[in-house]
Structures are given as C-alpha cells and as structure tokens.
Structure 1
C-alpha cells in the first residue's frame, strides 16, 4: 500500500473513536443548519447530544431519495451557497433530479478517497489512466478524474462514447489503468475484435468498473478478454460519488469502505431493523466529513452485506460485498425473488453467449410474462442460417433453461438472438425493460 496506510490499517478501536467524533460533529451540524434534519430528529425524539456511542446511530431517523426530491434543489445543504464550489446531480429521468453540493474541502476529501481507491485497485503515481466514465452532472467522470490527478497519475478524460476514438487513444497513449461501466468497456472490447485487434495486447493492466451491478462471470470475461485485473468500485452521488468503497487487487474479495469518511450499516429493507455482520440487506450510509451535503442514515436501496475481518491485503477497513442488486430492481417471478445479476451469472457461464442481455417484462392478461433476451456469439453462429430450425440452438436453449431453473428456482422464457442485435450502451446498461405500466419503461 502506497497511499494513506495509517487510515486503511488503523486498529478498529482507534477508528471507531474517530468515527464517533466525526459522527457527533456531522449530526450537530445537520441539526443546526438543515431544517429537514432538525424536524426529522425532533419527530424521532432525539437530539445531537443523545449520540454518545456508535450504537446510538440506530436511534437516528433514515433519509431516502424522496427526501432529496422533496427538498429540491438546495434545501438539504448545510452551508451557505457562497461555500458551494460544485453541484452534481442525477439525470432526473424519474422527475426532478437529485442534487448534491460540494465545498472546496469536500472536493479535496473526495479526490483523496478516490486516489486511495485507485491504489487499492493496483494503480500508482505515474500511471496513465484512461477514464471512460461520463463527465457532467454524473459524478463518475469528474470523481475519478480528480482522484487520478490527486494520486499523481495522468488523467485521459475521454468520457463515454465514440468507441473508435477510445481504441485509438488506448493504442497511442498506452494507459496502465482504465475505468468505466463494465458493459461499455465490453463494447470497446467487441469493437477492437471487429477491427482485428487483440484486446489482450494493449498496455492495460487493471480496470476499475462500476455504476451498475455486475457479476463474477462478467469479471471473468473482462479479465480473460483484456488480460487485466478487474475490480469493482462503489459510490453514489448522494454520499459523495465513486470512491466510497473498492475491491483490492490482491484479494478481490469485498469492497474496502473508506471508513474514516463513511459509516455503513445493513438493515432489513422491510422493517428498518439493523442487521449483523454477514447478513444480507439494504445498505445504509452516513457521511462523516461531508460539509455541503451531509447525509444521515441514507437508504441506498442497494442489497449487500458487511464483513469486519481484516483482508489478506492488510487493510483493516470494513468490507462490503459486491452489490447483488437494488431493492426496486428485484423481480418477482411467480413468487420467486430474482435479481438481474443472478440471471447474468447463468448466461455468462455459457461460452456460446455474448455478455449482453435484457429482461423484458410484459403482461399476458392478469399474469406477468418474463422474457430473457440474450445474444449468440459469432463463433457459435458460424454455419447456422436459421435459428428456429437449428438443432444446436434448440439444444443450447434447453441447456440454458435447465441451468436457469436450477439457479433461480423458476423457469423463464429465453429468446436467443443473432450477434450484435441487442442494444449497446455508452453508459449504464439497460438490463430491464418493463412494459407493464407504460410503454418502454426501463431500469
């Protein structure tokens, strides 16, 4: 480890003292400066002085994404607007965007935690880093960018899209690291292969991928096709952006949380009850150092678990599991709960399938119809002219269906498509298309 080892290897007791001190400070600042928090605390019958231990965190009320929309745009800011140096926000596809603000110190802290994250992934000062996350209101591009520079690496701010240019820059600039959504990086790989290039022969050695749930099978494909270490990064704008947690390249076994800046909990999504280490539930974050837009017990909607054990890399930080999915992305298929990543795990275990799929949901009368659309590889399609009358396609459908039922506990309708027919994304992949309530609704 070459970056801030005193924080990442601090004894648990010492870290908890620091967390409590910072928690008390942020609770007091929220209560004094943000009417929403003061009203929320008063309704719950708690005051800042009631927080005497980390366990007292559970006495505090939750925040939800709807609270951000109801206080749009700046009512949740805890500082005067003269101190806000940057604003980020969501796309606002479901109404008003969620808006977050940053002071100068917030930007510095964010850059530091992202720099630590890049080191955790195997990055080092002097690297050239190809940043294919989108720049703009989305926190991904600028979040990684400032961390790259803070580390002392060279940022290539290519953003998303224009895939041929991405390939040219990778060839010419010879970056050591790359970041983006895993689905878009796979698009780059596909385009390289179509151009007759071998993605394993680039200068890239490690990739930092996130902004969408992805499976271990997706990681295996990325690593095999690109010859890199692929690690998962986690963050959301409401908490700070990318850099809240990341896997280490040594273990790739859970994402190390920057625990000096963020306090994590797992709760039962139905009851709000705090769950113990190792148990799966909804991930909740409290920001400990954010000045402009602090959050107290923010319900992320993401499903994960926490692990307090020291990692083999030597870091003592709490680790979170990879995100299984979102509470609102969970599909209920004939009474069985299924996440898209579970479907992905099955599909990507078949070498005959490309790593692209969509779940299409529609209604047949009173019943929901679930279809999984996947894509065949060019190699498998050689010599097959008619998908409907191919014995090898029929046998493959049966094999996938059997494995899907064993893995998910329920059967789904499978649709095999020719290569390069499913839509591609330059950002987050659209995995769920739901026609039940309105035409073309996507997640």
Structure 2
C-alpha cells in the first residue's frame, strides 16, 4: 500500500533533482535568517550560491544536539515566533531540552509523513489505533495522533502509562493497532498475562513500535507474546518527530521519506561521508521544514542505507535497524560495547527474558561490568548448582560476543523495574 506514489516511487534522478532544489532553498533561508548557520558557513568560507545541488551537501556544516541546546530555546528558528503554532521538546535526561518549533505547513508535512509510515504498515481507515506514546512536549503521541487522523483511522489518545486502563480500553474499544515503545509492549504482554487474558481475546493485529532501539529477537518475542505483527517506526524530535522512516510489509529496512529528509552516512570519527551500504552514523538535512530546518544533523544512530528498489514498489532509500548509537556506546576496558549486543545474546537463550540492566563501575581503577538478567519462570530454581550452570553459560555467550568478561547476576522473573516509556538499560556509576 502506497500513500503518496509521486514521491514514494520517484526515480533516483528525479529525487536527486527535487532534493537539490529544496536544499538550495533551505541553505538560502538558514543563511539569511539564522546567525548560527551564517557564522558556521562563513567560517568555512561558504556562501549560499556555493550550493548548487545535492552533490554539494557535504560542503555544509554539521549540526549537533549541543548546538540546539546552546541556542535554547528559539535561536535556530528561521521564522518569526508569530508563525510558530506549536513547540515540542526532546525528553533529554541531562542539560537543557532541545526545542523544536512547527509552522502550520510543518504540521501538515508531519501529518503527511506519519500517514505514509502508517499506510506502509497497513494501517487503514477502519482501524482503531491506540496511541500509547506520551502526549505533551514529547513528539511521539501527537505525531502519531495527527498522522492517524490523516489516514482516517480512529484515534484513541490514551498516552503512556496506566497499564490496566490500557488493557481495558483495548478490550472495550476494540483497538486493532497499538503504538508504543518496544519495551512497553513487552510490559503490556506481561500485564495481559497476569490479568488472565489471552492476546487472542483482543483485536490487536499491528504494533507500531519506536523511540528506542530493539532487535529482531525482541520482535519475535513481542509478536509471539501479543499475537500480532510489529512494525518499526523511526523518528527524532529534532528532525520532525515520528514519521522520518518506517518499515513496509516486506520489512527489509525502513523507508526514509527522503523528499523531506536527506540522509547521509558518515564515519563518526573522521566525519567523512561513507559510500552506500557502509555502516556509520546517520545524518539528516531537512529540506521542507519552515520553523526549524537543520543542516546535516548528527543523529548519533548507527545504521546503513540501501538504495535498491523495494519489492513493495517504493524507491525511497531504506535504512537498516539502528544497531546502537555513537554516543551511548560503552567503552569498557578499551572495548566498545552496545547494549543491543547484550540484548541479542540474551534473546538467543530460551532461559532468559528480554529484561536486563547493565551496571558499570570502576573498582581499583578497573572497569567492571555487571549484568542483571531476568530468568524465565520455568528456569528459575532454588538449586544453586543449576543457577551457577546457567550463569556460566550466559557469561560464556556474552564473552563470545563482547570479547570482555562480564559478571552476570540472575534475578527472579519480573524483578527488574518495567518502564512505561523508554527502558533504562544502563547505570554507569563511573560518571557519578
């Protein structure tokens, strides 16, 4: 199912021409309206007329999350505040939030790209979509809300949390689609089970999951436990919110709405642009936004791009699932570690659940990694010997993947705190 055939099936040559035209307009606008970008470009001896098309993209300066914080709250807006009709902010846990502003046209664009992603996930006019992302400054709830309305689906704006109420609404309202984080969908599956319900008693058929990284093994777990099909949606508030990219029915990568958001992959160390197919950090330039257009925004997400035409008929470039982030990569005793690697190991094992927590500390000047791992009910035992054998097995499997030793501590089922938003996977005591 294709929502906007003109752009979603545009030839590569036509897309590059469109992107080039919109890029030139965007550069002209930010140079003359945003002192931050004007200074950045002047420092590179760069003028707007030096950008003549998409091939000149790599001449432009990068933008980082810190740049948005340094210009808090409205310093990067390109229009007068009287033209901003809505403001959102990131859910950052440290420092100032990153503030984003939308004009009326931006909100229309946002609804359009979310509608595309939902349509590619096969959400239709007769669906009831329960939006369990947070409403408010976080972009997840309202982004999915307006995109769902544009598709014509019936929106149930329940927001996050209040799990028993969520399940009651699913039962009473006949929800066919749930939109939330992957970790919360697992939490819901546990709560449904504890209430003595079977997922097959519900009408749910699709879960739109995003806002945190998740693995294919976690997908299998969620689909089995909730008896539905999962769809990976990608977005970030700085770029627009949800709707930047989404899987289609073939699930061979997430189609990026590249007529609005031009993607690049760079080496996070050298900042050089990498060829198609190579893994690196994802960078976006927004070319249709009015309120807060961004040049070469460093997402810190690690992935690769695939420009081949998809079986679904879309020619939009696809990004693979993000394997981690260049800024939440853990360096432990000189080894690079991503939480997603640990999750993959645990999900390969039938004895463990997808719930875990990493605790990193520094003892006697040596980094120590401890991993709390929940054990499945049927494998948790009072026999110390059995638990010791399982601990050693997990430690061995982790070492094979990470190439460092980690201390595994087994904990009883449902003892690791559940999250109704993004899961808190890492506690790094070294920085305290």
- Give the TM-score of the pair, scaled to structure 2: 0.98
Aligned alpha-carbon RMSD (Å): 1.1
Q: Distance in 1 between matches of 2:401 and 2:367?
A: 20
Of 422, 425, 432, the residue aligned with 1:431 is 425
Note if 1:187 corresponds to 2:181: no
Q: Distance in 2 between matches of 1:2 and 1:403?
A: 42
1:218-271 residue CA offsets vs partner (Å, 9 max, x unmatched) = 10101111121111111111100011001112x211110001100000101011
Q: Is the 8 A contact 2:111 2:150 kept in 1?
A: yes
Q: Is the 8 A contact 1:360 1:371 kept in 2?
A: yes
| Equivalent position of 1:441 in the other structure | none
- Counterpart of 1:165 in 2: which secondary structure? helix
Structure 1 residue 408, shift from structure 2 partner: 2.2
- Counterpart of 2:361 in 1: which secondary structure? strand
Structure 1 residue 351, shift from structure 2 partner: 2.0
Note if 1:415 corresponds to 2:409: yes
Q: Distance in 2 between matches of 1:162 and 1:273?
A: 45
- Counterpart of 1:24 in 2: which secondary structure? helix
Q: Distance in 2 between matches of 1:269 and 1:299?
A: 9
Q: Is the 8 A contact 1:200 1:225 kept in 2?
A: no
Structure 1 residue 321, shift from structure 2 partner: 1.1
| Equivalent position of 1:248 in the other structure | 248
| Equivalent position of 2:137 in the other structure | 137
| Equivalent position of 1:398 in the other structure | 392
Q: Distance in 1 between matches of 2:243 and 2:335?
A: 33
Q: Distance in 2 between matches of 1:320 and 1:209?
A: 16
Q: Distance in 2 between matches of 1:391 and 1:119?
A: 52
| Equivalent position of 2:86 in the other structure | 86
Structure 1 residue 2, shift from structure 2 partner: 4.1
| Equivalent position of 1:16 in the other structure | 16
Note if 1:147 corresponds to 2:147: yes
After TM superposition, where is structure 1 displaced by more than 6 Å over at least 4 residues in a row?
none
Q: Distance in 2 between matches of 1:292 and 1:182?
A: 30
Instruction: Note the residue ranges of structure 1 that are not aligned, 5 or more in a row.
Output: 439-443
| Equivalent position of 2:358 in the other structure | 359
Q: Distance in 1 between matches of 2:171 and 2:379?
A: 29
Note if 1:274 corresponds to 2:273: yes
- Counterpart of 2:405 in 1: which secondary structure? coil
1:34-54 residue CA offsets vs partner (Å, 9 max, x unmatched) = 111111111111111111121
**Which residues in structure 2 correspond to 1:218-237 (within 5 Å)?**
218-237=218-237
Structure 1 residue 113, shift from structure 2 partner: 0.3
| Equivalent position of 1:304 in the other structure | 303
| Equivalent position of 2:290 in the other structure | 291
Q: Distance in 2 between matches of 1:392 and 1:139?
A: 46
Q: Distance in 2 between matches of 1:180 and 1:260?
A: 26
- Give the TM-score of the pair, scaled to structure 1: 0.96
Q: Is the 8 A contact 2:23 2:53 kept in 1?
A: no
Q: Distance in 1 between matches of 2:200 and 2:243?
A: 27
**Which residues in structure 2 correspond to 1:155-170 (within 5 Å)?**
155-170=155-170
Structure 1 residue 210, shift from structure 2 partner: 0.8
Q: Distance in 2 between matches of 1:149 and 1:267?
A: 36
| Equivalent position of 1:107 in the other structure | 107
Q: Distance in 1 between matches of 2:200 and 2:295?
A: 44
**Which residues in structure 2 correspond to 1:46-61 (within 5 Å)?**
46-61=46-61
Q: Is the 8 A contact 1:180 1:208 kept in 2?
A: yes
**Mean Cα displacement is larger for which, 389-398 or 142-151?**
389-398
Q: Distance in 1 between matches of 2:205 and 2:425?
A: 28
Q: Distance in 2 between matches of 1:187 and 1:200?
A: 17
**Mean Cα displacement is larger for which, 389-398 or 370-379?**
389-398
Q: Distance in 2 between matches of 1:6 and 1:55?
A: 23
Structure 1 residue 92, shift from structure 2 partner: 4.5
Q: Is the 8 A contact 1:63 1:296 kept in 2?
A: yes
Q: Distance in 2 between matches of 1:7 and 1:126?
A: 25
Q: Is the 8 A contact 2:2 2:8 kept in 1?
A: no
Q: Distance in 1 between matches of 2:201 and 2:113?
A: 31
Q: Distance in 2 between matches of 1:201 and 1:221?
A: 18
